[in-house]
């Protein structure tokens, strides 16, 4: 039996959340500005409204 649209939507949301969590960790460990810029670019593709740089600056 196939998945219902709502199940697929929830799965996409969970996967996106896990991926963003990993990218946040990588951003925290990154030392070079070029690494950080690449990670920010990936985050913007996944979630355009999320600002990792601003989020990390407030910590």
The DSSP 8-state label assigned to residue 48 in this structure reads T
Domain boundaries, the chain: 5-57
Contact 24, 12 (CB under 8 A): no
Which tens digits make up the pLDDT trace of 33-51? 999 999 999 999 999 998 8
Confidence (pTM): 0.83
For residue 1, what pLDDT band results from cuts at 50, 70 and 90? low
Tell me the C-alpha distance between 36 and 45, whole Å. Answer: 14
């Amino acid at each position: 039996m196939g998945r219902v649209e709502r199940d697929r939507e929830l799965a996409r949301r969970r996967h996106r959340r896990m991926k963003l969590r990993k990218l946040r960790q990588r951003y925290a460990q990154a030392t070079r500005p070029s690494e950080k810029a690449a990670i920010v670019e990936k985050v913007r593709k996944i979630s355009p409204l999320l600002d990792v740089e601003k989020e990390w600056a407030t910590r």
